[in-house]
Amino acid sequence: MNEIFVTIAKLFQIPGTVVKVEPITNGHINETYHVVVENANDTSEFVFQKVNTFVFKEPVIMMENIGRITKYIAEKMEAKGISLDHVMQFMQTENGNYYVELEDSFWRISRYVPNTITHNACDNARLLESAGHAFGQFQTLLADFDATLLHETIPDFHNTAKRYATLLSHVEEDPCGRVASVQADIDALKELQPVATRLCTLLDEGKLPLRVTHNDTKINNVLFDATTDTAKTVIDLDTVMPGLVAHDFGDAIRFAANYAKEDEKDLTKVGLNLEYFRAFAQGFISEIAATMTPIEAETMALGALVMTTEVAVRFLDDYIVGDQYFKISYPDQNLVRARCQTKLAQEMLAHMDEMNAVIAEISAKAKA
């Protein structure tokens, strides 16, 4: 068995023998492993994660955030008599840290939630509605959490205007000589810029409230009960920070209500599935309706367009600088991702009225 897992298990005071290590390949950033440990009395399962410290420059403060958030949610769950399977539980070292730092790597461990599965794509609306409830609930659970206790783990994470500025400055620098071949992609994103930066403007003008948000609401960041296929736990808490409700809504739609996968090469397959849009909205808005302001409701659908364009900008930027940020499994994958997301954003723009109508209908019912 790989020595490093044995070493890490010891540092987290996990007794027993590491009997199985299997990579979990979801996610573009960290390295994740399902680890089984056996001892005389029982078998325990864990998720070991090697944190990407190029992306998370200050992993120690990130783990401080995660420790605080999970403790806060666990206390609420316990008070309500809800099983702790509904919140991530992180292991601590002897001196109370939620991480260990080895010579050249940074690790954390959470408990593996038994009998759960993740979905990388959706094939029915019911799943989406359930995920909507989970992410909506996550926000309401943290509604009274003191946001000043949270560090910004990635500054300007969803500052779309800044993401554009970064892309355009790298276009100027062209460090890998890739710009000439993607000029049409850059132009397509520039065309979306005014609408994609609208949420930033509204935030700057003080018209939208900052809340504690998840900020990475891909459907594969929800654990579903393997038996009932209902959402059980929201995972990947690395980017829980103050943000906009439309970011969480929009990022989930971007990923789950696309007819195609995130890196589909055949752009004719890419488009917005309005049935799935409605299903997620139904779950999400029914959870947050009580606190949602009118302007939040009006900009919810815009959030989908913003998040889709923003990630297209980020993928294209990463392609231009030589694939430093997102893991890739073949050379042009970031460009393929960028093109797919740009096409989806264009489709969303074309269907904005329909999306807005669905949100208005669901919000009116939820508030009635």
Contact positions vs ligand GN1 (CB under 6 A): 27-29, 55, 216, 218, 221, 236, 238-239, 262, 311
Rounded distance, CA 293 to CA 202, Å?
13
Q: Which does 47 bind (CB under 5 to 8 A by kind): Mg ion, ligand GN1, none?
A: none
Q: Which does 311 bind (CB under 5 to 8 A by kind): Mg ion, ligand GN1, none?
A: ligand GN1
Our CB check for ligand GN1 shows the closer of 218 and 343 to be: 218
Our CB check for ligand GN1 shows the closer of 29 and 192 to be: 29
236 near Mg ion, rule: CB under 5 A: yes
Our CB check for ligand GN1 shows the closer of 20 and 28 to be: 28
Burial profile 249-271: b = 16 or more Cβ within 10 angstroms, e = fewer: bbbbbbbbbbebebbbeebeebb
317 near Mg ion, rule: CB under 5 A: no
What the block records as the tokens of 25 is 């390949």
Rounded distance, CA 368 to CA 359, Å?
14
Our CB check for Mg ion shows the closer of 236 and 262 to be: 236
46 - beta bridge partners?
Answer: 35, 111
- Min dist. Cβ of residue 180 to Mg ion (A): 32
216 near Mg ion, rule: CB under 5 A: yes
Rounded distance, CA 167 to CA 317, Å?
5
- Min dist. Cβ of residue 238 to ligand GN1 (A): 6
- What is the CA angle 278-285-63, rounded to 5? 115
Our CB check for ligand GN1 shows the closer of 28 and 162 to be: 28
Rounded distance, CA 338 to CA 343, Å?
9
- Min dist. Cβ of residue 122 to Mg ion (A): 18
- Min dist. Cβ of residue 189 to Mg ion (A): 23
- Min dist. Cβ of residue 314 to ligand GN1 (A): 7
64 near Mg ion, rule: CB under 5 A: no
First to last CA, the chain: 58
What the block records as the tokens of 169 is 């400055």
Cβ neighbors of 219 (< 8 A, separation 6 or more) are 119, 120, 121, 122, 127, 128, 131, 252, 255, 256
Rounded distance, CA 262 to CA 339, Å?
10
Q: Are 57 and 74 in contact (CB under 8 A)?
A: no
251 near Mg ion, rule: CB under 5 A: no
Which one-letter DSSP state was computed for residue 95?
Answer: T
- Min dist. Cβ of residue 145 to ligand GN1 (A): 20
- Which span sits near Mg ion by CB under 5 A: 131-139, 215-223, 276-284, 300-308? 215-223
Our CB check for ligand GN1 shows the closer of 11 and 231 to be: 231
Q: Are 152 and 241 in contact (CB under 8 A)?
A: yes
- Min dist. Cβ of residue 51 to ligand GN1 (A): 10
Q: Which does 262 bind (CB under 5 to 8 A by kind): ligand GN1, Mg ion, none?
A: ligand GN1
Residues that bind Mg ion (CB under 5 A): 216, 236
